[in-house]
Amino acid sequence: MKSELSAYLAKQLPSDDGVAISNLARIPGGASRETWLFDASWTESGAPQTAALVLRKDPPASLVESDRAVEYAFYSAFHGTEVPVPAMRWLESDSRDLGAPFFIMDRITVGETNVRNLSEPPYATSRPMIGRRMFEVLGAIHRFDWSSSEIAPVVAAPTCESAWGEQVGYWEEMVARNEISPQPIVRAAIRWLRRNPPPPAQRVSVIHGDYRVGNFLYSAEGIHGVLDWEMAHLGDPLEDFAWACHELWDRSLISKEQSIEVYEQASGLKVEADALHWWDVFTGVKAQGIWLTGAKSFDDGRSPELMLAYAAYMLTNATDEALLRSLGRGA
């Protein structure tokens, strides 16, 4: 891929004589788009130039079926705002250059995403600060005026009343389409969600869709970049808040009460207990939909990503257990 990438960048950059690619490496992590880090160097009007870049390339199949142009629009919209994101460079829907559609963005070179490291001693004193920043940034995402941004033309907006139903419908469809074996617990959860609808959204906001520890770059100085916007859409902000706090991945950087306090102040919204509980149950349904989609991709042979099989084995039952607890049916 190195030569193809070099050839592509030579077309995009005003280089005197081509672009050299170095340190090209695929990074581990999620099983949706392939993520590659690399450095580019070229000469421009005789002056040497370098750039640290990230390539996000579509796989044959993944945990999440999403549109890279939409992901690109979300990143672009937030660049330069109080929500730190990488700067976007190029979006290609054509497979000709690299064998699959892709986009390239600048690389944020400070911070890490490693979930376990947050529990290690270097972060002992800064964990609470990172926890507060996590929910301040989330509040900023939900306060953002998307209506006049790159997002509006590419994403359908629900109403405050329809937001919950559209999401339940989407994930119910994903479960139905992808379940390899029957899923009685998530089916029961979907029935509960429909029978007990939440209050209307306080506003229709940008929803990151997978906002949690592991999807932002952090250091002892704070949060440097929010990543993985592939499930971003418009909807009820409590969807994101409940997701960020869910027991499946919560690292309890700060207490739930502190999370709510920080988020309410940052977003201008209220976190009502009943509504939060509903979105907590929804989080389990959505998570199950994600694991099942990946499992089917692996089972069908469309993807060899071992992460999909691991998620299917370890997370589908853990999510069922979490759903039972959230429905008051746990052990």
Partner 1 sequence: MKPEPQKVLGTMAGALAMLSPEIASAFGQQTSGLSAALAMVLAQEWDRAASRLVEENVRVTGLLERSRLVIRDELLHARIDGVVERIPAIDLRVSALQAENDELRRLLTDVHATVDGAEGAESELLNRLIWDELRESTRRRHLVAVR
Residue ranges that bind partner 1, judged by CB under 8 A:
25-29, 181-185, 187-188, 191, 195, 306-307, 309-310, 313-314, 317, 320-321, 324, 329-331
Pick between residue 29 and residue 128 the one whose CB is nearest to partner 1: 29
Helix, strand or coil for residue 81?
Answer: coil
10: tokens are 């030579």
Going 179 to 59 to 110 to 92, the CA torsion angle's sign is: negative
CB 320 → partner 1: shortest distance, Å? Answer: 5
Pick between residue 144 and residue 310 the one whose CB is nearest to partner 1: 310
Phi, then psi, of 224 in degrees rounded to 5: -110, -15
C-alpha span between 7 and 22 (Å, rounded): 14
CB 240 → partner 1: shortest distance, Å? Answer: 26
CB 32 → partner 1: shortest distance, Å? Answer: 15
Q: Where are the beta strands (DSSP E) in 102-237?
A: 102-106, 205-207, 216-219, 222-226, 233-235
Pick between residue 135 and residue 298 the one whose CB is nearest to partner 1: 298
Pick between residue 205 and residue 316 the one whose CB is nearest to partner 1: 316
Residue whose token pair is 């209050």: 199
Distance of alpha carbon 193 from the chain centroid: 23
Pick between residue 7 and residue 309 the one whose CB is nearest to partner 1: 309
130: tokens are 């990172």
C-alpha span between 292 and 171 (Å, rounded): 11
CB 188 → partner 1: shortest distance, Å? Answer: 6
CB 183 → partner 1: shortest distance, Å? Answer: 7
**Cα distances (Å, whole numbers) of residue 86 to 137, 222, 326, 330:** 15, 16, 36, 41
C-alpha span between 13 and 209 (Å, rounded): 33
CB 113 → partner 1: shortest distance, Å? Answer: 12
Pick between residue 11 and residue 329 the one whose CB is nearest to partner 1: 329
CB 213 → partner 1: shortest distance, Å? Answer: 17
Pick between residue 25 and residue 47 the one whose CB is nearest to partner 1: 25
**Cα distances (Å, whole numbers) of residue 330 to 124, 217, 294, 324, 327:** 33, 34, 26, 5, 8
Pick between residue 24 and residue 129 the one whose CB is nearest to partner 1: 24
C-alpha span between 39 and 25 (Å, rounded): 10
Residue whose token pair is 């916007």: 229
CB 290 → partner 1: shortest distance, Å? Answer: 17
